[in-house]
Amino acid sequence: MSLSKTAILVTRPGLGTTAPGDAAFGLEMIDKFFHTLERQAEKPYAICFYTEGVRLVTEGSAVALGLGLLEKLGVRILACQTCLQHYGLLDRVVVGEVGGVPDMVQVMAEADKVITI
C-alpha cells in the first residue's frame, strides 16, 4: 500500500449534490466511495472534513467504520474543529483527529493534488 500526496476534502454528508429526499442515496454513495478507496493500492494521504461533512466522523455516522479502516491503513482523517463546534458535534467525534483551519490549510498546501467531493 502506498500513500499518494492527494488530499480529499469532504464538504457534505454524502457524495455529490442530492435532492433533500435523496440524502440517503448520497450517503450510500459516499460509503461506496470510501470502501473503494480501501481497496486501492494508492491511497490519499489525508481526507479532510469541514462544513456539513464533519457529520461523517461523528457518532451514528454510517461511514465511520470505513473511515476508521482507512485511518488504520495510514490515511489521515482530519475534521474541522470550528465546524464541529458550530454543529454541536465536537464531543461526538468517533474517528480521526480534530484540527483547526491552519491544519486544513497545511494539508492542502502539502498535497500534490486536492480533490473536493
Full set of structural domains in the chain with CATH? 2-116 (3.40.1260.10)
Q: What is the pLDDT of residues 28-85, one digit of tens each?
A: 999 999 999 999 999 999 999 999 999 999 999 999 999 999 999 999 999 999 999 9
- What's the pLDDT tens digit per position in 5-33? 999 999 999 898 888 888 889 899 999 99
Q: Are 54 and 63 in contact (CB under 8 A)?
A: no
Report pLDDT digits (tens) over 78-88: 999 999 999 99
